[in-house]
Amino acid sequence: MSCEGRDVMSREGDFQSSMSRRIVASLTGLGLAGFVVFHMLGNLQVFEGRDALNGYASLLRDMPVFLWTARVGLLAAAACHIVLAIQLALHNHRARPVGYAVREYRKASIASRTMALSGGLLLGFIVFHLLHLTAGLVDPAVPNQLDAQGHLDVYGKILYVFKSPLYVGIYVVGQCVLGLHLTHAVSSSAQTLGLEHAAYNRLFKAAGPAVALFVVAGNLSIMVAVFLGLIHP
């Protein structure tokens, strides 16, 4: 076989490998986006009062097989998504090692151009969130007690945290990063998976911003309501 033939096969193999990684990254990304939506909807029960939110959290804990299966699945999906995203970024960099003399950003949005940055910042925020509200290691003063029904008082945790201007500021920044990442991620994932049609292209393009706005608005509504005293102990 000639060198040219081997080069063609090598390029085809690289393309197929890259495309496979993009598809898996898209699937895991959409799965994680779905969890973010579900998580936000669950937290919105804070507006229904302590019993509703704590009862919801307790219901999840009363199904340990489901809970741990979901946790392991999310961890695996997140790890896979991060590794593939890094590999694809390195692959793209190697494929175009010399930067353009003039960068053309007319078609690329801010969200698409900052995916690597927003992804890294989002990972840091998630780690902070888990250490803060889940593990209680960032602020040991965060309440970790039971309510009158014997359920873990998640409601009390949320009210304590979002009375602090510092934590509200951190979480607002985190939500902005999340929204920026989701804006491009959802739409580009749909495109990667081939979910394109002339009649629905606008719909798919709008899906990312719509999901981002829905999630961020829901999460911010909780923080603002608590901070302004609209939700009481």
| Predicted local confidence at residue 202, as pLDDT | 79
The residue type of 146 is L
- Lowest mean pLDDT: which of 35-39, 99-103, 131-135? 99-103
Mean pLDDT throughout 196-205? 71
Rg (CA), the chain: 21
Q: How far apart are CA 214 and CA 178, in angstroms?
A: 11
DSSP three-state, residue 230: coil
Q: Does the pLDDT at position 135 exceed 90?
A: no
Q: Greater confidence, 19 or 46? A: 46
| Predicted local confidence at residue 108, as pLDDT | 62
- Residue 9: band (very low, low, confident or very high) from pLDDT cuts 50, 70, 90: very low
| Predicted local confidence at residue 165, as pLDDT | 97
Q: Does the pLDDT at position 13 exceed 50?
A: no
- Pull the structure tokens for residue 5: 């033939």
Q: Does the pLDDT at position 101 exceed 50?
A: no
Helices 165-192 + 201-227 axis angle, to 10: 170
| Predicted local confidence at residue 159, as pLDDT | 96
Rounded to the nearest integer, the mean pLDDT of the chain is 84
Mention every residue, 6+ apart, whose C-beta is less than 8 A from residue 192. Answer: 22, 23, 25, 26
Q: Is the domain defined by 3-227 classed in CATH 3.40.50.300?
A: no
Most confident of 85-99, 128-142, 144-158, 162-176: 162-176
Cα 139 to chain centroid, rounded: 23
Mean pLDDT throughout 209-231? 96
Mean pLDDT throughout 9-16? 49
Mean pLDDT throughout 98-112? 55
Mean pLDDT throughout 29-53? 95
| Predicted local confidence at residue 96, as pLDDT | 60
- Residue 141: band (very low, low, confident or very high) from pLDDT cuts 50, 70, 90: confident
| Predicted local confidence at residue 102, as pLDDT | 42
**Tens digits of residue pLDDT in 161-200:** 999 999 999 999 999 999 999 998 888 887 777 666 666 6
Cα 108 to chain centroid, rounded: 21
Q: What sign has the CA pseudo-torsion 156, 158, 164, 166?
A: positive
Q: How far apart are CA 90 and CA 95, in angstroms?
A: 9
Mean pLDDT throughout 78-103? 73
- Pull the structure tokens for residue 226: 């608590």
- Locate the domains of the chain by residue range: 3-227
CB half-sphere exposure, 220, CA atoms < 13 A? 15
